[in-house]
Structure 1
């Protein structure tokens, strides 16, 4: 351990003591020779280098600034008179020399001395200040298109298909859409109407449908023979079928006879055809007829005028294969496909509850 006096001598080396003496000397000289320093610096030379907003354009402004920055300067000016100005200037030379050594100032540059002592901003080249580029203005992103509300999934009434739909005269179509009454060897507008009925029953009512869009009328006179095989296959593969519809369109009607206004919308009227035993054995046709009348009544109850009623004919139309097999003529050749499609959707809304009722009654037996 060192003695206390030696410790303090180590903490305060000679150079530090020398600096203290210099500072005291500077304070004394600033007090006694302020006027000499003022004359030496030549404020008039320094003025043009400072911003005009700070120093102004007159020398007295610079003097005021010096007095504000060095509070002892005004006192020194008042105490000194013209008789001792010369000695003050000589002392100022010594002061400037000391200051230049301590603070590394250029004695020939008054501006350097002022920059060290005066609290005023120094000119800075504009290039020294980095200029940030404005961020590019990006266009607002397009608003996302609103999603269509998803319909709640309808519970399926049965995993089995409860309805069969097919087209004996597959090529029958609507002249307002296709410009002709049938598409030979192709699928006409009646196939689209059958598909609309299927969609309404399955997606909105939860009733599964077994539908065939096989072309049966490529050879017209054998159409019912081919569709008979189609219906037999649908019934064999789906033992729970409660009704079977053969979708057609009518012919030989005018435009006025082929339209109906339902809630302000022009639609194609529906005619139900039921076969009989007039030309061939068909002992159960009355069952088909009763079902047809019930369906027609329900249609007109909900959509008055949409159904033209039930017509009984001599042919069997393969209806002997099922007690609730019916032939539906949706519109005529004078309709558009869209009119027939919309009528098929309304038919599905009415048919769904009837199928549900029949199915539930069978399940309770």
Structure 2
């Protein structure tokens, strides 16, 4: 059994999600202690519990310690099975964080996987669903990953109730990835508003376009408006298209003007473009397990994060692969996997 110290590195929910996902992938049982020890409220919270439940259901795993505020977990996986899965994250818990964990072990499932997840699609402290759809998945597709994501209904804080459908077709292997410098052909985006006036989405888009144009970039931003949701909310996701994709995003908040929301997303994208690196810091985190699965991979990230360092620690420990990092946390870095 592999022992994992849950307080290592960033010591948060990401370590838990990656650990259980890689355990399911490799069928190596793990024992995690000090779960989320570095957080103000330690132990398992509902969103983390749901992610572990999802991976456990996928891999027919026996789990001990799967309860709210648990600080210790035993995870005993079996074979990953294809099929149809339904997951309800409850309220506005992030569907994208659950999906991030679920996506890793299904890469080599024995049959196609269809998953419906209910919860928050566009909530703070997690990737908006359009980021996962338009940035994460295209980068993974360049490695041979085969998945399609459909947004059925958006869910915002505090009501949640969003629904996404994801179909994943297993592959025999993943292709190594080797991307260094960023090349930008165009910028696109989606600005949405649900159960709010359409002009909210329009103003977000126009504000982002103005900021980008002032910095020499034209953008095609689609405006999406709907009342098909449980509660109001808005947001905008921008991304580059070229040899790879980097993104920028912002979620609307009460008291924050739509123009500011668009401006924040544009500035984040411009920052990532200015770094000249092929992946932004979020993909730099997410791609670590896939680099280990594929082997012989190398990426240049706009910013090395503590999350990425933590993911490397867990991936090396469970998969036995070796990473090399040229750069420091907070700086541009090159990450290589054997």
- Higher radius of gyration, 1 or 2: 1
TM-score (norm 1): 0.23
TM-score normalised by the chain length of structure 2: 0.24
> Structure 1 or 2: larger helix share?
1
